[in-house]
């Protein structure tokens, strides 16, 4: 079956950095866009970044643009999210998702398989 597993979350001080990883299996990884979303308690899930199957095209939420960088290693079926200059408002559970298509999408409905989430907490 298709599986997506996130890792790398943790507690970090404001201004610090974290690197999240997302390992996928059971899919043609290079043919699928991947996305990162996040959700804080009692808040709606929000888009963070999407990256195309090739890894050459990405779209970032305005709130993270210039601070977060997505990359992928298709040989290892893994996508990464490098988070720099973290702010307390970045605190959330971060979810990785495998897309239905090769092209990028900011919509959760365009993703078929979701990971379990990894907690990111940024202290002030």
> Nearest-CA neighbor of 9 among 66, 97, 94, 71?
94
Cβ proximity of 102 and 31 under 8 Å: yes
For the chain, percent of residues with pLDDT exceeding 90: 96
Let me know: does 107 contact 37? Beta carbons within 8 Å. Answer: no
- Model confidence over 24-70: pLDDT tens digits? 999 899 999 999 999 999 999 999 999 999 999 999 999 999 999 99
User: Mean pLDDT score of the chain, rounded to an integer?
Assistant: 96
């Amino acid at each position: 079956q298709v599986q997506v597993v996130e890792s790398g979350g943790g507690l970090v001080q404001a201004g610090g950095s974290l690197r999240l990883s997302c390992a996928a299996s059971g899919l043609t990884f290079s043919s699928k866009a991947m996305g990162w979303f996040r959700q804080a308690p009692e808040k709606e899930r929000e888009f963070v970044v999407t990256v195309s199957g090739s890894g050459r095209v990405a779209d970032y939420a305005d709130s993270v643009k210039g601070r977060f960088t997505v990359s992928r290693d298709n040989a290892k079926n893994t996508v990464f999210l490098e988070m720099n200059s973290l702010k307390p408002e970045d605190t959330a559970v971060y979810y990785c998702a495998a897309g239905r298509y090769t092209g990028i999408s900011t919509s959760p409905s365009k993703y078929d398989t979701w990971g379990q989430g990894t907690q990111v907490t940024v202290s002030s």
